[in-house]
Amino acid sequence: MIGSFVVDASRIYYREGHEFYRQWVGLIDDTEVGDAGVQGYLKMSISIIGPGDKMAQHDEESDKKLEKIEEEKNGINAAVPPCVKRENCYLVTTIHKCEYLPVMDNNTFSKSGIDAFVKVEMGTASKKTKVVTIKGDRGALNPAFDSEIWLPVTVPVMSDTIKMTIWDEDSGPAGNSLVGTVTDKFNLLNEDSNKSTPPHWLNIYGAQVNGYELGSNLKKIGKIGSSERDWKAHYNKFGHEAPHYRGRVLIEQRIVKSAPPKKDGSERDPEPFRRKLKKELKQSQFPPTDTYKIRAMVVSGTEIPKFRKTLSVGKARKMQIKIQCGKNELYSARVENNNGVCEWYEMCESEIFKYPRDLDSCPDIVVSISKGKDTEIVPIAYKRYTFREVVESNFTDDCKWITFAEDKALDLLEDGQFPGSVLLRLGAGKVDIADRTFQDWEKSLDSSRQKTSYQLRMHVYQVRGAACLCCFITRFSARALLIFAVF
């Protein structure tokens, strides 16, 4: 290989016109120790067009003439200019362990579990840990890897993203299954005075593992060949949009100038490699923790989707609210769905639990509207909050109407169907603050039970140009009532 050019897609998209247009870029060879500088230049164009964007228009012939004059006068203007000194180093990612991974192998004749490994990627370099097999329920799926992944990097970098993917190894025809994806930023690490981070947790999010019904699968089969996105794969790849917590991974990172020699004392080629840690991380070296509680006051819901029971003609399934923060889960009571209206008027509070003192390392809180019961609870739609934003309210936020987003991987709603809204008060924080505010929440719950009578009045004055007047007024009236109900 002569050289390559790697750049983050976001760097291109947020430029003017969402493009590199006729841009000179420097080619870098990370695979040879002696090739520390730019190995050549390539002129190219790249554009990234998203929804609602328009591709930039250019007069290429005119641009070529102007470029020729500019380059003869000042030389080429490359994305990696020749005056920038390039240095080789190694990104070292220590993968200590994962916790609370989902059950990926459901076997009829053997114990369920996961064959887990972690892959680290940056630019064109990648390496994975060994596979660790764990059997049991989800609480037991905590594989320890105790491995270092060394990736050669040439700085300054154009691709800033460090990607870590967690996988379940599968030798079957479908291949390995992606559990989830987490990312870090190389330049943030490189700008640190020590060029290192202490052990810290990264939370993994993805699609629901269970709950995929025959009806939703048939809908997906009907969309094969269309431009319909594979939302299950999308959620597992882009965890910041996902509705479900899939565990966490404990890592630390550092940047070093050179790699240790091989066991025989010889120098290493600049290629990715893996090393076993000499010592496991002691419990005292784990990220410091605090004790927390979560509390939710669930009042009522409107426009909640209706689902029919399989064996009960015409009867709608009861619905409930599920609140998940990592391995901690809260559930409201299951209540009747009366024409899209559910009434709970209850308060739920978690047991005391421990999570990192660093609020950004704590799992997000996911509120879901769910159907089913016991082990067959299926979240239909969700609203996700960062742990920090809820904790920083100090249990003082008022009740708010929240609008859910459909879980598009499960795809249990009709196209265009509204996923519902719920009146909810949500709090999380340290135990002393939770206990101190409990009475205020009880008073708020009592107030929410008090109902006031209102009158809705609408005048329909005139209709013109309608093909069928009676039908039009019926539909118009229903639509107007719906609008008034929303506002």
Tokens of 431: 């135990």
pLDDT value at 72 more than 80: no
Please give the single-letter amino acid code of residue 355. Answer: Y
The vertex-21 CA angle with 19 and 27, nearest 5°, equals 100
User: Confidence class of residue 437 from pLDDT cuts 50, 70 and 90?
Assistant: very high
State the CB neighbour count (10 A cutoff) for residue 279. Answer: 7
pLDDT value at 211 more than 90: no
Tens digits of residue pLDDT in 117-163: 999 999 889 999 999 999 999 999 999 999 999 999 988 777 789 99
Report whether 240 contacts 384 (CB < 8 A): no
Report whether 94 contacts 197 (CB < 8 A): no
Residues 395/397/400/405 CA torsion (nearest 10 deg): -60
Shared domain check, 227 and 98: yes
Using the 3D structure, point to which of 18, 45, 74 is the last residue of a domain.
74
Shared domain check, 100 and 168: yes
Shared domain check, 477 and 358: no
Tell me, what's the pLDDT at 484?
41
pLDDT value at 454 more than 90: no
Tell me, what's the pLDDT at 474?
47
d(CA 287, CA 199): 6
H helix count then E strand count, the chain: 9, 22
pLDDT value at 82 more than 50: yes
Residue 126 CB contacts under 8 Å (≥ 6 apart), including other chains: 119, 120, 151, 272
Shared domain check, 161 and 43: no
Tens digits of residue pLDDT in 380-400: 999 999 999 999 999 999 999
Pairing of strands 144-155, 87-99: antiparallel
Tell me, what's the pLDDT at 84?
56
- The neighbouring-strand residues paired with 406 are 381
Report whether 231 contacts 189 (CB < 8 A): no
Peptide bond into 287 cis (omega under 30): no
d(CA 198, CA 449): 49
List the single range of 179-183, 223-227, 280-284, 452-456 with lowest mean pLDDT.
223-227
* Residues 322-327, mean pLDDT to the nearest whole number: 96
List the single range of 120-134, 214-228, 360-374, 428-442 with lowest mean pLDDT.
214-228
82 assigned to some structural domain? no
User: Confidence class of residue 470 from pLDDT cuts 50, 70 and 90?
Assistant: low
Tell me, what's the pLDDT at 78?
67
H or E element, residue 345: strand 342-349
Shared domain check, 258 and 316: no
User: Confidence class of residue 62 from pLDDT cuts 50, 70 and 90?
Assistant: confident
Shared domain check, 241 and 307: no
Using the 3D structure, point to which of 24, 46, 74 is the last residue of a domain.
74
Using the 3D structure, point to which of 223, 258, 285 is the last residue of a domain.
285
* Residues 60-81, mean pLDDT to the nearest whole number: 75
Tell me, what's the pLDDT at 228?
67
256 assigned to some structural domain? yes
pLDDT value at 312 more than 70: no
d(CA 132, CA 166): 12
Helix (H, G, I), strand (E, B) or coil at 255: strand
pLDDT value at 227 more than 70: no
Query: Percent of the chain scored above 90 by pLDDT?
Result: 56
User: Confidence class of residue 466 from pLDDT cuts 50, 70 and 90?
Assistant: low
pLDDT value at 35 more than 80: no
pLDDT value at 333 more than 70: yes
pLDDT value at 243 more than 60: yes
Tokens of 161: 């993203």
d(CA 102, CA 84): 46
1 assigned to some structural domain? no
106-110, 251-255, 270-274, 316-320: which is most confident: 251-255
Shared domain check, 433 and 308: yes
Report whether 97 contacts 277 (CB < 8 A): no
**Distances from the Cα of 433 to the Cαs of 47, 121, 291, 328, 430, in angstroms?**
51, 42, 11, 19, 6
The vertex-207 CA angle with 306 and 168, nearest 5°, equals 145
3 assigned to some structural domain? no
Tokens of 364: 């997000």
- DSSP string of 209-234? SS---HHHHHHHHHTTTSS---HHHH
Total domains in the chain come to 4
User: Confidence class of residue 32 from pLDDT cuts 50, 70 and 90?
Assistant: low
464 assigned to some structural domain? yes
d(CA 15, CA 17): 6
pLDDT value at 264 more than 50: yes
Shared domain check, 217 and 278: yes
Shared domain check, 101 and 60: no
Shared domain check, 410 and 272: no
Give me the count of residues in the chain. 487
183 assigned to some structural domain? yes
Which CATH number does the domain housing residue 186 bear?
A: 2.60.40.150
Shared domain check, 236 and 133: yes
80 assigned to some structural domain? no
b (16+ CB within 10 A) / e for 143-176:
bbbbbbbbbbbbbebbbbbbbbbbbbbeeeeeeb
User: Confidence class of residue 483 from pLDDT cuts 50, 70 and 90?
Assistant: very low
pLDDT value at 51 more than 90: no
What's the pTM? Answer: 0.79
| Whole-number average pLDDT of the chain | 85
- For 38, the domain range is 9-74
pLDDT value at 252 more than 70: yes
First and final C-alpha spacing in the chain? 63
Shared domain check, 333 and 233: no
Tell me, what's the pLDDT at 308?
82
Sheet with 87-99, edge to edge strand ranges: 200-206, 244-256, 87-99, 144-155, 273-276
- The neighbouring-strand residues paired with 4 are 28
Report whether 42 contacts 25 (CB < 8 A): yes
4 assigned to some structural domain? no
Nearest to 430 by CA among 389, 391, 388: 391
Q: What is the DSSP letter of 288?
A: P
